[in-house]
Amino acid sequence: MSDDFDEGASPPGVSAAASVRAAGPADAAAISRVHYQSWQTTYAGILPLDVIASRSGRRSEAVWRRRLAHAGVGEATFVAERGGEIVGFANCGDARHRLEGLEAEIYALYVLQAHQRRGVGRELVRACARHFILHGHFGFYLWVLKANRARLFYETLGGEEIGEKSERLGLHSFSEIAYGWHDLTSLVVVG
């Protein structure tokens, strides 16, 4: 997962404000582009190049279009836009597995590298937290590669390590950490 770490000044030519909205099938191409580009930049130096190459394209436009058109009742995808361009997305819904009684999960959260550290990831997490509350879930978790620097971002948002597992991508094994939030108050209240 790719994300930002803190609120910082926007780079020249990049608006500080990002708007977040629910995604629809028409957003499939932009989401696929963000997904692909984020895999390329986030996992360089963490995953072997062959794994990045084989996995970064697995969420094609067609796959995202189907997923967005046929989302389950509790599932949602949000996009973050700046200047009319989609620069990040989050996909969330009911937990695939229960961890510490948490019933919701963020499946994917990616922000283009040029837009990280600008609050985009925070707004996407906030949108997911609001979605969870609307669906009667008051805690959630997500998985992140142990070597991913985004772990600092999740800790800053109040996530606590609640699990660890080993995952195989291709011929390679990697450790993942689950971060959990048992109280969504600080995420949904703008402060």
How many folded domains does the chain comprise? 1
The reply to whether 104 falls in a domain is yes
In a domain, 6, yes or no: no
Residue 3 in any domain: the answer is no
User: Mind listing the pLDDT tens digit for each residue in 132-188?
Assistant: 999 999 999 999 999 888 899 999 999 999 999 998 877 778 899 999 999 998 898
Q: Is 107 exposed, middle or buried (0-12, 13-18, 19+ CB in 10 A)?
A: middle
Whether 74 is covered by a domain: the verdict is yes
CA 80 → CA 4, 15, 186, distances in Å?
A: 13, 12, 20
Instruction: Tell the residue number behind the tokens 């969870």, with chain if given.
Output: 132
In a domain, 33, yes or no: yes
User: With bands split at pLDDT 50, 70 and 90, how would you rate the model's confidence at 46?
Assistant: confident
Q: Is residue 4 part of a domain?
A: no
Q: Looking at the domain assignment, is residue 139 inside a domain? A: yes
Residue 174, domain CATH: 3.40.630.30
The domain of 94 spans 19-188
User: Picking from 45-54, 57-66, 71-80, which range would have the lowest pLDDT averaged per residue?
Assistant: 45-54
pLDDT digits (tens, 9 = 90+) for 81-135: 999 999 999 999 999 998 999 999 999 999 999 999 899 999 999 999 999 999 9
